Structure 1
């Protein structure tokens, strides 16, 4: 049974939910371990057959801990089978939901010394009732500007689950 490390940097839990879906899609032939990348874990890359990193975008940025992790583990990331995906609300729109068309993925690839060979971009979820007052106001403002949902009583999941499952299959074949 191959060991797989699923590293996440999640703001509100949607990245973790996506990782769990990928874990389920991978099936019983893989032993998956889910770890919070924001804790800057020490990883023994040799323990794992493959690694997947998923990170969410908040206010236009990936978490700084992601970049710290990459800086500390760059040699290992380059040597091993490591895939990457980012999660953001902009990806709810056609034409902004692929590694080639996502401004956030382009920004990541420009800033990061690590260039993952396997990449994906997924739409996240809008969870107004769960946000703090400040986040609710700011995210509503951003959604108004971008033509998104502004009713703060709603929760909307934009994640394309068949696309996530397809990526999980690509990750298996990677």
Structure 2
């Protein structure tokens, strides 16, 4: 049986939710879902497909993403591996913020990372005000007010375009 590994760096769970959604499309694969924050050291050569998903918080990916890539860079380059970025800016699809070329976060990632994935997805995340600590809630509210987003701290808003995620999943599933 074919194998796929889905590695995620998620703060509030939306990246994990997106990877779980993609994983459901991988019928005929034995799939593993792994948290990058746990500092895993899987043998990537055992997998036919590798997908790494990471979220942005305050303009940055978590350091565990870069540590993982540093350790596994050669395996990632020589495998069928893809990357996806989850952030709130990607909600601005009309400004192409949901594309690798239009995402400042992906562009920074490509400059900083030792890995340049051939396939990259950019998806809007979710705003989970009630789950945030007070300081995070206020900082995110400030950022959202500056960018024209939701500022009602009693709300949770999911911006993820699930059709776009499904299209990415289908493309990644058939990539050779």
Task: Show CA shifts across 1:67-106 (max 9, x none).
Answer: 1111111111111111000000000002211011001000
* Cross-structure match for 2:14: 14
How far residue 39 of structure 1 moved from its aligned partner, in angstroms, is 1.5
Q: Give TM-score scaled by structure 2 length.
A: 0.96
How far residue 173 of structure 1 moved from its aligned partner, in angstroms, is 1.3
* Cross-structure match for 1:157: 158
Give runs of aligned pairs for residues 111-126 of structure 1, distance below 5 A.
111-126=112-127
* Cross-structure match for 1:4: 4
Q: How many residues align?
A: 173
RMSD between aligned residues: 0.8
* Cross-structure match for 2:109: 108
In the aligned structure 2, how far is the partner of 1:17 from the partner of 1:74? 25
* Cross-structure match for 1:169: 170
Aligned residue for 2:54, secondary structure, equals: strand
* Cross-structure match for 1:64: 63
Q: 5+ unaligned residues in a row in structure 2: which ranges?
A: none
Structure 1 stretches of at least 4 aligned residues deviating more than 4 Å after TM superposition: none
Give runs of aligned pairs for residues 84-95 of structure 1, distance below 5 A.
84-94=83-93, 95=96
In the aligned structure 1, how far is the partner of 2:45 from the partner of 2:73? 14
